[in-house]
Amino acid sequence: MSYKEANLNNNTHSLLVGYLLWIFGFIGAHRFYYGKPISGTIYFFTLGLLFIGWIVDLFLIPGMDRQADERFTAGRIDYNIAWLLLGFLGVIGIHRFYLGKWVTGLVYLLTGGLLGVGILYDFWTFNDQVSEVNRLGV
């Protein structure tokens, strides 16, 4: 089986979503999505390394997509839906309900994502959380 065939079976992240998030990449959105929280945080505080790193990433996204597909486990939970829920409705915990984490989903709902700190935690660890749920088949 070729690399491309094997990769189709584990296509966890979308190139299209990566490029859409790249539009907001100067705040690190695409880097968090592809499982690169350290550089995502650096981009957040430096505006994409003063926009230079952001422009360079336009060409690096296909490689980041391949690395994410190799690193994370595909399964019942779709990474793209999960990340959209985190990005747009994370403060009220909808992404946690989607993962089946009802207790923390309710906590986020009642506390505004633990006053934002929980959202930051999720940006750093969300790919691993989704991968774990997919691996366990919960």
40 and 32 Cβ atoms separated by less than 8 Å: yes
Convert the pLDDT of each residue in 76-87 to its tens digit: 999 999 999 998
HSE at residue 130, side-chain half, CA atoms within 13 A, is: 30
User: Could you state, in order of their start, the residue ranges of all structural domains in the chain?
Assistant: 1-71, 74-138
91 and 113 Cβ atoms separated by less than 8 Å: yes
Convert the pLDDT of each residue in 13-67 to its tens digit: 999 999 999 998 788 999 999 999 999 999 999 999 999 999 999 999 999 999 9
Cα–Cα distance, 114 to 121 (Å, whole number): 10
Question: Residue 8: pLDDT band by 50, 70, 90 thresholds?
Answer: low
Look at residues 60, 64, 26, 58 and name the one whose alpha carbon lies nearest to residue 45: 26
